[in-house]
Every structure is written in structure tokens, then in C-alpha cells.
């Protein structure tokens, strides 16, 4: 049995708490490793060491810090397949999806290679007689990233890139279900030139998280996970005077207008609904066709596509469509919600329950399910299922569809499929959701924009990555200066080297 570690002071460090969590192989249902769960004392010691390391890192000029990001990006590329395999081994997603997980994180590191540009301040010359004003962006000190299981590479990279490039030290607390990718990324960052202690990976559960939230040295917390935990962390961090941005769960709707290309819409729905077994915060879990004819025609197209989906372990090859869900408990919860959908009167058009894969009978595989005639009161509509279950809610008109999306408490992503630019424009303007796709089912913005939901999908006011992340991980200091005299002779005749 492999025993995982923390990463502290640039080396693997064994846990001392005596508490461990099992890291499962979701395809076989077997325990493949155990990960130590840190105590408050372990966390506090790691923070104290990070605070010392941060001083030298903050004093390293931004261009040199960016060079570490350049080397890190090159190493991620070099180790792409190995990292993707690590992701898939603990998460269960297919290898192409594992590569996507690494790739979308790498893209944020690529933006961090230009961090000095993001960190430039502002300047006003002659704001008053002989008076200039300038503002600078300074790192916060020690910050924390707390990440979910479903993107073991991408989300830790979203957190560490901007935080480290801005001159902070980071305590990263990855999901205890998929910790190995973060540990490997820490090794690669060391190889890229990051000084020891600037990134500490602390494995743990609620005890470690609460220790982060209560540690006075930690200045900011970037969290991604489920909504109840996001809200809890936001509240406790704020009470303790920390900056916090906490991204939560989702229930993403796709509106399909009568003029949409229904084959393309069905293809998009199947990929966005069932990819990664529905374990994406940007998965589409609700299809909202407008008009009965559209709804019937969509079901007709969805059924054969869903019945063709290949479910299997990542080791079975690149033509697998999706793998197992993360735990036995997740599988039982999804099965229970499908059952509730039937009991509460939704029409189960494709039934994924009872799915079993020969040779992997103990794996956490769930077949794809499709519901029609779902209504907003049903549990399958109200809950974030986070599994391969797509619900169709029929809307009479475009206004009804828009209202449904607007009334939903979550606001992470949404999409509309239509051939009409005016409808698409109206939808994009009026919908109260953070990320909108037009004929595009999973509108995760590119790394030089930024990612963030609205309503109960995010707590805090700045988005992840892009320019917002550099604002989140730095604070502004503004200087008003006046000089009364100066020496006006003498000169320098050579270029000064800044580094």
C-alpha cells in the first residue's frame, strides 16, 4: 500500500497525525494509496515556514519569477502524459480528458509567464504642483488554495500560477481523493526553480481546512468545491479577516430554440452532459428545448447517441466516452436521485441504473440516464447530481426558458443553441449566469479571460485566473510623492541591467 506524503520545504514529508484517507481506484473499487490528513500543528508549521520563504520570493523580481513559470510550463509539457495518467488513475476520467485537465491548467501557467505585465502599477504625473501619484501591486504574503477532486491538475494550477507569479507563498490543500497530481506538480515546480517552502502541499480534510481558515498568517483563500462548503469557507475566512473567493456547485442549463441545428445540439448535449461522467462544474445537466416539437425531436436524437456511449476504465483506450464516478458513495447517491426522479414522476427515457462492467464489477461505474418531463420541484432538478444524468425540462416559450434559468439558484454556466443572432444576444444580455455559450455547450473561458459563476456558484467578487486572479493575489498600495529639490547634473552612459 503506497503511503502518500505532504510536500513541505521542498521535500516529501510523512504525515504525523496518524489519520489517513483512502485514495481509491474508482475503476476497480480498490484502495490504491492512503493519504495523510494534516493536523492544525502540521498546517501551522508549514505556514510559518512558507512565510519565511515568501520574503525572498517576493524580493525576486517579477521577470525572474516569470522565468520559473516558463520552465514550469516546459516541464508540464514534457510530462504531459505522465500527469494525465496520474489524473486518470485517481479520478477515473479517460486519458484524453486527463490530458485536457492538464492542458487547461497549463494555459493559465502560460499567461503567468507574462505576469510582470499584470503586476505593473498606475502612475499619475503632476497630479498637483510637483506632485505625482503611483500605485503598486504587492503580494499578500502566504495565501491558500483549497481544491476539489474533479480537476486534479487544472484547478491546482489555476490557483498556484497567479498566486506564485505575484510573489506569494502558497499552501495548497488538494482534494484528499486525488492528491498525487498536486504532489507531482510541486516536484516539477522545484525543478523549474521555485525556492523551497514557497509552495507547500498539505494534504488533509476539514481539520486542515479549518486550520488554514484560522491561521492569522494566511492572507487569502481561493476555494473551489461544492456550494455548502464554499459558503462555509467564505464566511469563516471573512470573519477571520481574510480575502476569500469561493467557487461552488452548479446546475447548468442549455436552451435549445426551435431554429437550432438539432443534430449539433444533441451532439453538444451528450458531450457536455455525460463527459467525465457528468463530474464537471460546467457540465450541462438540464436541457431546455423550447416548444413540444423541439423537445420530441431532441429526445429522438439524444436516445441513440446516449445508447452508443462507451463506459469503461481509462486503461481501456482513448475511445472510451467516460469512466467511473469518484466513490461508492457518489454512485449510490446518483442511483438514489435517479430513483427519486422516477418516483416523483419524471419520465426515465434511458435508464443507467444497474450498469455493470465485466471484470470491473466493484468499480464505481454508472450508466448514462436521460429524463424527460422534469419539473423544477423534483429532486433531480433541484440537486446538483454530479453524475451522468441529463434532465429535459420542456419550455413553452423562449421567455419561459429564460425565466427557468434565471430562477435557478446556481449561476455557473449556461448555453443557448439557436440560428437567430437576436435571440442569442438577448439571452446573453439578460441571463444572470457568469459564463454563457452561444452554440457552445461548455463555455469555460480561455486563460487570459477569467472564470467565475454568479449566484450560489461563487462567493466573493473576483474571478479565477486572467487579470482578476492577479488582483485577488495582490493588494494595491498608492504613494503620493513630492520632492522639494534635486541634483540635476551628472549622468549615466550605459544601459542599466535590471536583473
Q: What single-letter DSSP state applies at residue 225?
A: S
Among 248, 289, 324, 411, binds ligand NAD (CB under 6 A): 248
Q: CA Rg, the chain, in Å?
A: 24
Yes or no: say if 161 and 108 are a contact pair by the CB < 8 Å rule.
Answer: yes
CB of 470 to ligand NAD, least distance (A): 18
Backbone φ and ψ of 246, nearest 5°:
-130, 115
CB of 170 to ligand NAD, least distance (A): 14
Q: Is 383 in the site for ligand NAD (CB under 6 A)?
A: no
**Residue 453 binds to ligand NAD (criterion: CB under 6 A):** yes
Pairing status of strand 218-224 against strand 11-13: unpaired
Under the binding rule (CB under 6 A), the answer on residue 412 touching ligand NAD is: yes
Closest distance to ligand NAD from the beta carbon of 456 (Å): 10
Asked if 175 touches ligand NAD (CB under 6 A), the answer is yes
Window of 33-41, 172-180, 270-278, 332-340 that interacts with ligand NAD by CB under 6 A: 172-180
Minimum CB distance to ligand NAD smaller for 192 or for 385: 385
Region of 54-62, 149-157, 292-300, 361-369 interacting with ligand NAD (CB under 6 A): 149-157
Q: Which is nearer to ligand NAD, 372 or 384 (CB)?
A: 384
Cα–Cα nearest to 277, from 314, 225, 229: 314
| 477-482 long-range contacts, CB within 8 A, separation 24+ | 477/135, 477/136, 477/138, 478/133, 478/134, 478/135, 479/133, 479/134, 479/135, 479/136, 480/127, 480/131, 480/132, 480/133, 481/131, 481/132, 481/133, 481/134, 482/128, 482/130, 482/131, 482/132
Q: Does 94 bind ligand NAD (CB under 6 A)?
A: no
Of 266-325, which residues contact ligand NAD (CB under 6 A)? 281
Among all residues, whose Cβ is closest to ligand NAD?
225
Residue 225 makes contact with ligand NAD by CB under 6 A: yes
Closer CB to ligand NAD, residue 141 or residue 387?
Answer: 387
Give me the least distance between CB of 455 and ligand NAD, in Å please: 11
What's the min distance (Å) between Cβ of 279 and ligand NAD? 7
Please, which residue, 58 or 160, has the CB nearer to ligand NAD?
160
Catalytic residues, by residue number, are 281
Q: Which of 266, 295, 303 is nearest to 374 (CA)?
A: 295
Asked if 203 interacts with ligand NAD (CB under 6 A), we say no
Helix (H, G, I), strand (E, B) or coil at 475: strand
Q: Which residues does 353 contact at the CB level (< 8 Å), separation at least 6? A: 335, 338, 339, 367, 369
Q: Does 209 engage in binding with ligand NAD (CB under 6 A)?
A: yes
Contact between 108 and ligand NAD (CB under 6 A)? no
148 contacts ligand NAD (rule: CB under 6 A):
yes
**Residue 17 interacts with ligand NAD (CB under 6 A): yes or no:** no
Is the CB of 276 or the CB of 416 nearer to ligand NAD?
Answer: 276
Asked if residue 75 binds ligand NAD (CB under 6 A), the reply is no
Q: Minimum distance from CB of 78 to ligand NAD (Å)?
A: 26
Determine the Cα angle at 419 with ends 413 and 421, to 5°. 75
Smallest gap from Cβ 247 to ligand NAD, in A, equals 3
Dihedral angle sign, alpha carbons of residues 402, 404, 408, 414: negative
C-alpha dihedral sign at 165, 15, 51, 476: positive
Q: Cα dist. 477→57, 142, 143, 474, 481 in Å?
A: 19, 18, 18, 10, 13
Would you tell me how many other CB atoms lie within 10 Å of the CB of residue 151?
27
Stretch near ligand NAD under the rule CB under 6 A, chosen from 179-187, 189-197, 201-209, 491-499? 201-209
In the complex with ligand NAD, the residue whose CB is nearer, 448 or 454, is: 454
The only residue of 39, 88, 94, 150 in contact with ligand NAD, by rule CB under 6 A: 150
DSSP label of 220: E
Query: What is the total count of residues that contact ligand NAD (CB under 6 A)?
Result: 26
Question: Which of these, 297, 309, 303, 391, lies nearest to 344 by C-alpha position?
Answer: 391
Interaction of residue 147 with ligand NAD, rule CB under 6 A: yes
Contact stretch for ligand NAD (CB under 6 A) within 42-50, 247-255, 314-322, 488-496: 247-255
Q: Binding to ligand NAD by residue 104, rule CB under 6 A? A: no
Cell, residue 133: 501619484
Q: How far is the CB of 187 from ligand NAD (least distance, A)?
A: 20
Nearest Cα neighbor of 472 from 11, 209, 144 is 144
Residue 249 binds ligand NAD (CB under 6 A) = yes
Q: Where are the alpha helices (DSSP H) in 242-326?
A: 262-274, 292-307
Cβ proximity to ligand NAD, 26 vs 453, nearer residue: 453
Site of interaction with ligand NAD (CB under 6 A): 146-151, 173, 175-176, 205-206, 209, 224-226, 229, 247-250, 281, 384, 386, 412, 453, 457
Amino acid at each position: 500500500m503506497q503511503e502518500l506524503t505532504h510536500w513541505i520545504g521542498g521535500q516529501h514529508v510523512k504525515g504525523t497525525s496518524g489519520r489517513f484517507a483512502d485514495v481509491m481506484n474508482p475503476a476497480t473499487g480498490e484502495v490504491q494509496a492512503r493519504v495523510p490528513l494534516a493536523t492544525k500543528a502540521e498546517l501551522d508549521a508549514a505556514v510559518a515556514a512558507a512565510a519565511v520563504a515568501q520574503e525572498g520570493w517576493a524580493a525576486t523580481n517579477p521577470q525572474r519569477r516569470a522565468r520559473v513559470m516558463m520552465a514550469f510550463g516546459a516541464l508540464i509539457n514534457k510530462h504531459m502524459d505522465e500527469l494525465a495518467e496520474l489524473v486518470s488513475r485517481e479520478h477515473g476520467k479517460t486519458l484524453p480528458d486527463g490530458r485536457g485537465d492538464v492542458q487547461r491548467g497549463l494555459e493559465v501557467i502560460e499567461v503567468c509567464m507574462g505576469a510582470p505585465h499584470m503586476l505593473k502599477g498606475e502612475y499619475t504625473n503632476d497630479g498637483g504642483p510637483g506632485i505625482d501619484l503611483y500605485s503598486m501591486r504587492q503580494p499578500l504574503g502566504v495565501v491558500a488554495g483549497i481544491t476539489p477532486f474533479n480537476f486534479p491538475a487544472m484547478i491546482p494550477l489555476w490557483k498556484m500560477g497567479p498566486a506564485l507569479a505575484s510573489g506569494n507563498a502558497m499552501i495548497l490543500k488538494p482534494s484528499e481523493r486525488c492528491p498525487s497530481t498536486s504532489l507531482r506538480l510541486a516536484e516539477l515546480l522545484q525543478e523549474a526553480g521555485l525556492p523551497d517552502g514557497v509552495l507547500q502541499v498539505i494534504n488533509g480534510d476539514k481539520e486542515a481546512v479549518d486550520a488554514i481558515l484560522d491561521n492569522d498568517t494566511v492572507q487569502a483563500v481561493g476555494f473551489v468545491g461544492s456550494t455548502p462548503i464554499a459558503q462555509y469557507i467564505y464566511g469563516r475566512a471573512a470573519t477571520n479577516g481574510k480575502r476569500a473567493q469561493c467557487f461552488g456547485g452548479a446546475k447548468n442549463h442549455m436552451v435549445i430554440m426551435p431554429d437550432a441545428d438539432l443534430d449539433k445540439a444533441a451532439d453538444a448535449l451528450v458531450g457536455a452532459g455525460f463527459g467525465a461522467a457528468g463530474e464537471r462544474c460546467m457540465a450541462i445537466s438540464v436541457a431546455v428545448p423550447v416548444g413540444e416539437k423541439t423537445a420530441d425531436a431532441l429526445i429522438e436524437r439524444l436516445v441513440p447517441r446516449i445508447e452508443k456511449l462507451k463506459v469503461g476504465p481509462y486503461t481501456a483506450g482513448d475511445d472510451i466516452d467516460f469512466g467511473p464516478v469518484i466513490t461508492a458513495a457518489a454512485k449510490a447517491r446518483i442511483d438514489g436521485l435517479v430513483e427519486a426522479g422516477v418516483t416523483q414522476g419524471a419520465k426515465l427515457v434511458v435508464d443507467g441504473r444497474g450498469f455493470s462492467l465485466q471484470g470491473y464489477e466493484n468499480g464505481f461505474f454508472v450508466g448514462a440516464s436521460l429524463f424527460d418531463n422534469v419539473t423544477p420541484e423534483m429532486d433531480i432538478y433541484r440537486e446538483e447530481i454530479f453524475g451522468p444524468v441529463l434532465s429535459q425540462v420542456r419550455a413553452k416559450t423562449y421567455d419561459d426558458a429564460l425565466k427557468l434559468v434565471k430562477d435557478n439558484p446556481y449561476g455557473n454556466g449556461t448555453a443557448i443553441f439557436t440560428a437567430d443572432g437576436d435571440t442569442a444576444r438577448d439571452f446573453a444580455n439578460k441571463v444572470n449566469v457568469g459564463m454563457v455559450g452561444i452554440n457552445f455547450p461548455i463555455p469555460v473561458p480561455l486563460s487570459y479571460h477569467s472564470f467565475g459563476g454568479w449566484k450560489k456558484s461563487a462567493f466573493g467578487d473576483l474571478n479565477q485566473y486572467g487579470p482578476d486572479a492577479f488582483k485577488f493575489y495582490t493588494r494595491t498600495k498608492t504613494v503620493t510623492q513630492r520632492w522639494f529639490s534635486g541634483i540635476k547634473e551628472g549622468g549615466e552612459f550605459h544601459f542599466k541591467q535590471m536583473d
